[in-house]
Structure 1
Amino acid sequence: MKFKPYIRKVNYYETDRMSIVHHSNYIRYFEEARIYAMEQLGCDLIEMERQNMIIPVVDVYAKYHKSLCCSDEFAVYIKMTYFNGVKQKFDYEIRFTSDNSLACTGHSTHCFVNENHKPISIKRINPEIYNKFMSAVEE
């Protein structure tokens, strides 16, 4: 499944005194896009947590190409590149909507744990969600 891009504008509070987005906010943009992608699959993160399926970040990486500034509109393109029921990986591209130029690339890896932070298998716990995630994996 190809996800729709997540699109929004940079808010003033996300920038420094030069109106440039602080580097930490790109990680937040990744997360916003990931939640949006999960919604496209019909997987509500809050509902999953209520069902004792928590998805912490194992690692995250960002490479900055061109700075976003206050009021810039951008799109986050996301792909799920790995999923095995216990772990998943997403790749991200943040692009300016004005000219499609690249602002940032990156990836994040996640695992699935229960409320006691013990690893779980989504395939065993919830086969329906497992199948939704499997349908979204892109090579």
Structure 2
Amino acid sequence: MQSETQFIARYAETDQMGIVHHSNYPIWFEAGRTDFLKKSGMANSKIEELGILLPLSHIDCNFKSPARYEDEIVVKTTIRKMTCARIEFEYEIVKDKDGTLIAIGSTSHAWTDKSLKPLNIEKKLPELWCILKKAMG
């Protein structure tokens, strides 16, 4: 499954050159990831209510072309890899108007409890495990 999250680049996200500042891309990845989870069938807020967290362990972003103020943006999110202890997401950020590739990236996360102790998501929440396995295709 691929989730698409759409929004417009805001003025506050740009730098003096009118280009979206690089510090916004992790925020856009997070927006794509939370939307992906919700569209898959279990919102991140529900996962957290159940005492499960997804702390970030790695982020990677490669910039291809600039995004500018008022560009209509699409964040395409997929699961790259998942084990019972970790999950990796991939992101492709494009301009909605013409599909111009803006950036590609990925994030890696651990499944933990609220004290950040690693856990086996397949055993702890089999419903979520099945939802995400199905979303992987």
TM-score by length of 1: 0.94
Residue in 2 that maps onto 1:93: 92
Q: How does 1:1-139 map to 2 (within 5 A)?
A: 2-137=1-136
RMSD of aligned Cα (Å): 1.0
Whole-Å separation in 2 of the counterparts to 1:83 and 1:137: 9
Residue 74 of structure 2 aligns to a residue in which SS?
strand
Distance 1:10 1:109 in 2: 25
Q: Deviation above 2 Å: which 4+ runs of structure 1?
A: none
Unaligned stretches of 5+ in structure 1?
A: none
Question: Given residue 23 of structure 1, which amino acid in structure 2 is its aligned partner?
Answer: H
Q: Please give the alpha-carbon distance, in whole angstroms, between the structure 2 residues aligned to 1:134 and 1:53.
A: 17
Q: Distance in 2 between matches of 1:84 and 1:98?
A: 36
Distance 1:28 1:7 in 2: 13
Distance 2:62 2:9 in 1: 18
- The alpha carbon displacement at 1:3 in A equals 2.4
Q: How many residues align?
A: 137
**1:3–1:40: 8 Å Cα contact kept in structure 2?**
no
What is the CA deviation profile of residues 90-112 of structure 1, one whole-angstrom value per residue up to 9, with x for unaligned ones? 11110111110100001111111
The unaligned stretches of length 5 or more in structure 2 are: none
**Following the alignment from structure 2 to structure 1, what is the Cα–Cα distance between the partners of residues 119 and 72?**
38
TM-score (norm 2): 0.96
Given that 2:3 and 2:32 are in contact with CA atoms closer than 8 Å, whether structure 1 keeps it comes out as no
